[in-house]
Structure 1
Amino acid sequence: MVNNMLEGKVAVVIGGAGGIGKAAAHRLAASGARVVVVGMNDLKAVEEIAAGLPGAGHMAALASITDSATLTALAQDVQGRYGKADILVNAAGFTKPVSHADLDALSDELIDEMFKVNWRGQFAAIRAFRALLVASGDGLVVNVSSISATTGVGSNVAYCAVKAGLDIMAVSLGRTLAPHIRVVNVAPGVVDTTFVPGRGADFNEKVAGTTPLGRIGTPDDIAAAIEACATHLTFTTGTTLVVDGGRRLN
């Protein structure tokens, strides 16, 4: 069912094949947007996601957030097909569990990769789509951050650092790109996806038991917050919206 709150809008979801990205694409499409579902290397997968979205006029595409040229090409493709972009969702990223106490295991190579994928890539995507978002007159960027940015508890120390950097990026760009583009981060706690390798049902149950609202998040919980940034929180920019069931309170 489409509710038409975003009718006429074009939303680009980078990381659209992941749990949160896929849920966000569905939410935005259900609100009337035409959605560009962007994957990294499996076109068939994002084509299937795009084909299953409510509404019409959706598109599947590939781009790598570590290759700025592909992001520029993506923006050109979106401009060619739709003539504009109104919403950019940065839901792509990766991590690797490393004990915070094991400093040697957090190698220079892993640190560089964490920043390249989880900070530089999001900035590069915003840079590539800036002109289209400005032309929209009502542009919105939503980055998927994490409560790790403020709790310092996460899959590894570098992950916490890049998410803190992503949050301050929202502050900087929220100020710089206003009034034409709003920039809002959505910060989940633990979410029921396969994003962190090695985390299974036992981990999720343990976290749920110590979360004030009694469960971990679902991809749709985070997608609902992303949708709200586009549909209801239209006087919000340069800030981070926490969606964690109260997890950070512990």
Structure 2
Amino acid sequence: MTRRVMMVTGGSRGIGAATAVLAAQRGYDLLLTYRSEVARAEATARACEAAGARVILMQGDAGSESDILAAFNRIDEAFGRIDVLVNNAGITGPRRLLADSTLEDWVSVFTPNVVGVALHCREAVRRMSIKRGGKGGAIVNVSSRAAEIGGGGEWVHYGASKGAVDTLTVGLAREVAAEGIRVNAVDPGLIDTEIHAAAGAPDRVARLSAGVPMGRGGTAQEVAECILFLASDAASYVAAACLPVGGGR
């Protein structure tokens, strides 16, 4: 059988890496994009290859149109198709009150988190749409519970960007459902990945776990399982969903 093809942005670590490895184990070949961590990206690629996947790594900026086009051109050349796009790449920006935020905070967060996601979706739709000669497919956007909770006191700019991702997900899902494309999102909550330390709050999961009804932070693997479900035929009648993955928070 021909393996299906998935693109995962931000595939070098955390949720992206967990998704890539799980996808490889479940029969996908992969194109993984990453920004800077070469060693981590290569380690993820090796783990995917060990599971039987063909893997292509592309270094680039998830908010750069030229880098996005290069990644899609590469997937065209290497595989001739894309079945699933997982828009995982994104940043929190600095921990800062809105009153202390700068224009750069907002631009730097919205460029990869919203504009980049939209451009990746655009290129995927152009290739997947049955009205454009494609064979259909699935898009899964990695949003956040911050889209609803808001990120007040830490990252309102990040929460606002993820609110935009949820809206984009619902709108695009309704726009392309008749074109054979299912668009959904996962909204992770307090997940134990390196994103907290990178944002200057290494103790955040431990500090906030008591506020999660399940009493703990989640894992990247648990989010990856939800992503693979939404990408799979098991979710064939699921579209425009923003699935909370937050332990009840």
Question: TM-score, normalised on structure 2?
Answer: 0.89
Q: Which amino acid aligns with 1:78?
A: I
Task: Find the aligned partners of 1:187 and 1:61 in 2 and give their Cα distance.
Answer: 25
Alignment of 1:158-237 (within 5 A): 158-179=157-178, 180-196=180-196, 197-201=199-203, 203-231=204-232, 232-237=234-239
The answer (yes or no) to whether the contact 1:86–1:136 under 8 Å persists in 2 is: no
- Residues 10-159 of structure 1: matches in 2 within 5 Å? 10-53=5-48, 54-100=51-97, 103=99, 105-134=100-129, 135-153=133-151, 155-159=154-158
Q: Is the 8 A contact 1:79 1:132 kept in 2?
A: no
SS class of match (2:195): coil
5+ long unaligned stretches in structure 1? none
**Contact (CA 8 Å) 1:142, 1:186: kept in 2 or not?**
yes
Q: Kindly tell me the number of residue pairs found equivalent between the two proteins.
A: 239
Taking structure 1 as reference, are residues 63 and 133 closer, same or farther at Cα in structure 2, changes over 3 Å only?
farther
How far has the Cα of 1:127 moved from its partner? 1.5
Tell me, in whole angstroms, the C-alpha distance in 2 between the residues paired with 1:28 and 1:115.
Answer: 28
- 1:215 to 1:42, Cα distance in 2 relative to 1, 3 A: closer
Distance 1:52 1:98, change over 3 A: closer
Distance change in 2, residues 1:210/1:37 (3 Å): same
Distance 1:181 1:62 in 2: 27
Q: Shift of the alpha carbon at 1:215? A: 0.8
Q: CA deviation at 1:33?
A: 0.7
Give the letter aligned to residue 10 of structure 1: V
Aligned mates of 1:82, 1:43 — CA distance in 2: 23
Distance 1:45 1:208, change over 3 A: closer
Contact in 2 for aligned 1:65/1:124 (Cα 8 Å): no
CA distance in 1, matches of 2:223, 2:182: 18
2-structure distance, mates of 1:169, 1:85: 20
Contact 1:37 1:49 in 2 (8 A): no
Equivalent residue of 2:229, what SS? helix
Q: Give the match's secondary structure for 2:235.
A: coil
Q: What percent identity do the matched residue pairs reach? A: 29
Structure 1 length-normalised TM: 0.89
Give, as a single letter, the amino acid of the residue that structure 1 aligns with 2:86. Answer: V
1:208 aligned counterpart, secondary structure: helix
Q: Tell me, in whole angstroms, the C-alpha distance in 2 between the residues paired with 1:221 and 1:240.
A: 16
Q: CA RMSD in A?
A: 1.8
- 2:139, 2:231 within 8 Å by CA — same for their partners in 1? no
CA distance in 2, matches of 1:108, 1:122: 20
How far the C-alpha of 1:55 sits from its partner, in A, is 1.4
Unaligned runs of 5+ in 2: none
**Separation of aligned partners in 1, 2:205 and 2:38:** 31
